[in-house]
Amino acid sequence: MTLLEVSLVLFLMVLFLGLALPRFSLLFQSPLDKDALRIQTLVSRLKKEALLEGRGFKLVLDSAKGEVLVYEQDGADPETYRPYLAKGLSGFALEPGVQMKPVQKQRDRQFQMGFKSLSFDPIFGLESEVFIDRAGLMDLFSLELADGKQRLFLEVKDVMGVMSLTREAVGP
């Protein structure tokens, strides 16, 4: 073998390992990490699709059933939504053993106009619905995922969709 052939074989092996190892590491992630990553990826992809296609979306985070569902805003009537069936963006069920706590929306903050303090009703809207409008702006929310060993908090910090993922250990 010449030096050129050895270099070519090494290059092909490095290329193969570079493509295979990131996918291989996904096999060893905990179900909690997988679900948090799936929700984070789904939200960011929906935000991008809302910006590029001009569609509004509703993300339903059902804590009782452990499901994440996606609905698309109807073009004729912006108040109605239909199930969104695009490949990879249609929603999913959480892994067995992973629990979703009820979503906390940040709508019940106190606002003040003039001298009178105004407060918004915290019951306004369903707690499990997160809206992404046609401009890509989204509701602020925080979501807690937990299994027996650890908890993860996924939080959307601003209307542009900046997300943070925080891990908290449970028990000793």
Q: Rounded to the nearest 5°, which phi and psi values hold at 92?
A: -165, 170
On whether the pTM is more than 0.85, the answer is no
Convert the pLDDT of each residue in 101-159 to its tens digit.
Answer: 877 766 544 444 444 444 444 444 444 788 888 888 888 888 888 888 888 888 888 88
Give the closest residue to 68 by CA, choosing from 26, 33, 103, 97.
103
* All structural domains of the chain with their residue ranges: 31-169
pLDDT confidence of residue 116: 44
Instruction: Quickly state the pLDDT bin for 12 (edges 50, 70, 90).
Output: very high
pLDDT confidence of residue 31: 85
User: In Å, what is the CA distance from 111 to each residue of 5, 64, 108, 115, 121?
Assistant: 70, 32, 9, 11, 12
CATH of 31-169, one of 3.55.40.10, 3.40.50.150, 3.40.50.460, 3.20.190.10: 3.55.40.10
Output b/e per residue, 56-88; b: 16+ Cβ within 10 A.
bbbbbbbbeebebbbbbbeeeeeeebeebeeee
H/E run at residue 68 = strand 67-73
Angle among Cα 58, 70, 31 to the nearest 5 degrees reads 120
